[in-house]
Structure 1
Amino acid sequence: MRDLVFNYFVRNLTKYAYKILKPATYKHNRRYWPFYRVVRNTAGHIDQVFFRNTLIADHRLKLNNRHSKCMLIATGPSIKKIPKHFFKHEQLDYIGVNGAIALSEVTFQHYVIIDHDFVQNRFDLVERVLDTACNFFTTARCLDYILRKVKIEQIRCQFKIIEITSHGKNELFMGNTVLVDEKVKSPYFYNGYGFSTQMYDTVFDYYTVAYTALQIMSGLNYPYIYIAGLDMNNFNLPRFYETLDAKQPTLLNQHTQSILAAFETAAYFFKIQNVSVYNLSPYSLIESFEKLTLDQDTIL
């Protein structure tokens, strides 16, 4: 108990000191300083992240895909209707988001969580991710919450820290706030929505982690992508791993039009990159990608 009180006092003291020492454009880092150190390359992308002088994330290590095809597993209710053999293909890499780890039959190579509310509210599922040998893509804020609760030596996954552009700005980890202007010549914009092909530069957040995950999959250079559980409808229903009595709130229904437009942008970029993307949710509101039926195995 005394250690918790001490850590709480130290963190609040350092937040106050940071506020005095740094300009307002750095204020988002007040919860991290002086516990974190970020090393960037000449392009300004994160190379390494240190926590209390211990290397916690190393982006210099090359990420090798096991296969050319991958499946993104989102968490819509339709997951329950997909035959289990779709989740056990030996020729697929699996990428999970949020509560997808509840599918115990899946071995995930990559994982993405960017919502700190999910990390706080469903830390039981986050711990399951930490105990896998996956590449765990997450944000500085989620990382910080995790490291407050779990010792580094207890973590099996490899952290990969991504920086989110939201509402036109990117708050760099231990860095400045960067404004993103569509008028600047950039490969990231189409019809007003951004899509990043370089995951360590930035990724865009349009209210759903599945969109962020698609940008990471693009950065991993998968030529074939299958998406399961991307329903974007029936928002009153629990996610496949939830119950009606234990259902986390969602804002997806309030931002449906922006989400649909963003996925149109994703489809545009995948098309010009010659990447084939298939939606395995037959009644999904997302019509940007070709839908496959589940009455036959069309993945391989």
Structure 2
Amino acid sequence: MNVVSKIDIAINKRIITIKTFDSYEYKQNLDGQSVNIFASGPSVSDISFKPLLLNAPSIFVNGSLSLLNKHAFSQVVGYVISDKRFIKHQLSLLKSTYAGQPLYITMSVLEAIARYHPKLIEQYHDSIRMIFAVDRPLAKPQLLKSKYSLQKLFTRVTKPKKTKLALTHFAKHPNFVIENQQTAQPIGVSLDITDGFVEAGTVAYVAAQLAFSRRAGSVHLYGIDLINSNQPRFYESKNDNAPSKLEKAVSTRIIPSFNLLGRVYQDHGVTVYNHSPVSKDLMTSIIHTENN
């Protein structure tokens, strides 16, 4: 697939280059290690953070990075943000917690950070890798003025219209498994997000594809509760919580997608485990365990 290898952005009159994710980049290789992914479900509050858990390679999504304020994780190998709304709703959390960990973001998130927290890009650009949804690829770059009056320029990418998974060439691409027979709309999973990730309605699904693409030996999911999405995330309060769109997509998209992911990755020798007691009966293709 013809994907750009970098994005250039000017901040404070300095051109900064952000690389796109490449699974063949040496430091992206997790070399068969067991990787933990921490989502933001309320069940995270019940996890026993023992040394064995804290010392394993860990990937965080959105507000779960706030766990670093409470626990001494020794191997933070990834932090994933795919939705620009998180930047707007949890900017203070990002500013107080992020400190140069490997960061994986979409184009819309990059633009939001450039608007609300440009210092992060200026200071930690070497740690950032761009990722994208396969049905919205990063195409040939073009230089455009930013719509923000912050004296910035983006070498931005053309944004093609979103296309349906089943109707495009990547439905037969060797790095994707697309299924459209058992669900109301096509679902899929990526074997290498260098060519794009498949969306399912939750950033945790993106993180799982990232872990596999980086050659994790097994993937352990924490805090993917799904059926209690109306409750505040573990780092929020009842009076201060961002809106969630999980509830509508859970049964039609998220659960079928995770079940597909579990089957496909198992076929490729990577077992996926779900540690959430809340969703243990939902993801039938993923091994459930409550051992933390």
Q: Same fold (TM over 0.5)?
A: yes
Displacement after TM superposition at 1:162 (Å): 0.9
Range moving further from structure 2, 77-86 or 145-154: 145-154
Higher Cα Rg, which structure: 1
Correspondent of 1:162 among 109, 128, 131: 131
Classify the secondary structure of the residue corresponding to 1:177. Answer: coil
Contact 2:222–2:274 (Cα < 8 Å) also in 1:
yes
* Residue type at the aligned position of 2:123: Q
SS of residue in 2 equivalent to 1:236: coil
Tell me if the contact between 1:74 and 1:230 (Cα under 8 Å) persists in the aligned partners.
yes
What TM-score does the superposition give when structure 2 sets the normalisation length? 0.77
Which amino acid in the other structure matches residue 71 of structure 1? Answer: N
Contact 2:32/2:217 (CA < 8 Å) preserved in 1? Answer: no
2:104 aligned partner: 137
TM-fit CA distance, 1:125: 2.1
Pick closer, same or farther for the CA change 1:125–1:287 going to 2, 3 Å: farther
CA distance in 1, matches of 2:50, 2:102: 23
- Tell me: CA distance 1:58–1:207, structure 2 relative to 1, closer, same or farther (3 Å): closer
Instruction: Describe the SS at the equivalent of 1:103.
Output: helix
Verify: 1:264 aligned to 2:259, yes or no.
yes
Matching of residues 106-185 of structure 1 within 5 Å: 106-107=73-74, 108-128=76-96, 130-132=98-100, 134-148=101-115, 149-151=117-119, 152-155=121-124, 158-165=127-134, 169-172=135-138, 174-175=157-158, 177=160, 179-182=163-166, 184=169, 185=172
Q: Is residue 18–residue 126 contact of structure 2 (8 Å, CA) maintained in 1?
A: no
Tell which deviates more after alignment, 156-165 or 237-246.
Answer: 156-165
Contact persistence 1:101–1:128 (CA under 8 A):
no
Task: Give me the whole-angstrom Cα distance separating, in 2, the residues matched to 1:87 and 1:236.
Answer: 31
Q: Could you tell me which of 191, 195, 209 is aligned with 1:197?
A: 191
Q: How much does 1:66 deviate?
A: 6.9
Describe the SS at the equivalent of 2:65. Answer: helix
Counterpart of 1:79 (choices 35, 40, 44) is 44
Structure 2 vs 1, CA of residues 201 and 142 (structure 1 numbering), >3 Å: closer, same or farther? same
8 Å CA contact 1:203, 1:215 repeated in 2: yes
Shift of residue 286, structure 1, vs aligned partner: 3.0
Deviations 1:163-209 (A, max 9, x none): 114xxx31535135263542542332134311111212111111111
CA displacement at 1:129 relative to structure 2: 5.3
Identity across matched positions, percent: 25
Query: What residue identity is the alignment partner of 1:56?
Result: I
Asked if the contact 2:201/2:254 (under 8 Å) is kept, the reply is yes
User: CA, structure 1 residues 270+250, in 2 after alignment: closer, same or farther (shift >3 Å)?
Assistant: same
Can you list the C-alpha shifts for 1:231-271, whole angstroms capped at 9, x where unaligned? 11122321110111111111111111211111121112112
> Which structure has more RCO (C-alpha within 8 Å, separation ≥ 6)?
2
Render the CA deviation track for 1:27-81: whole Å, top value 9, x for unaligned.
xxxxxxxxxxxxxxxx423322211232233646431327611000011111111
- Give the superposition deviation at 1:229: 0.5
State which of 281, 288, 292 in structure 1 corresponds to 2:289.
292
Asked if the contact 2:18–2:125 (Cα under 8 Å) also holds between the matched residues in 1, the reply is no
> Which residues in structure 2 correspond to 1:230-269 (within 5 Å)?
230-257=224-251, 258-269=253-264
Distance in 1, matches of 2:32 and 2:235, equals 27
AA matched with 1:172: L
Please state how far the C-alpha of 1:116 moved relative to its aligned partner: 0.6
AA partner of residue 123 (structure 1) = L
Q: Work out whether 1:188 is the aligned partner of 2:177.
A: yes
8 Å CA contact 2:32, 2:218 repeated in 1: no
TM-score, normalized by length of structure 1?
Answer: 0.75
Q: 1:206 to 1:85 in 2, by over 3 A?
A: same
> Cα distance 1:87–1:115, how it changes in 2: closer, same or farther (>3 A)?
farther
Greater mean deviation of Cα atoms: 188-197 or 234-243: 188-197
Instruction: Give CA deviations for 1:103-136 in whole Å, capped at 9, x if unaligned.
Output: 121352101101111111101222245413x221
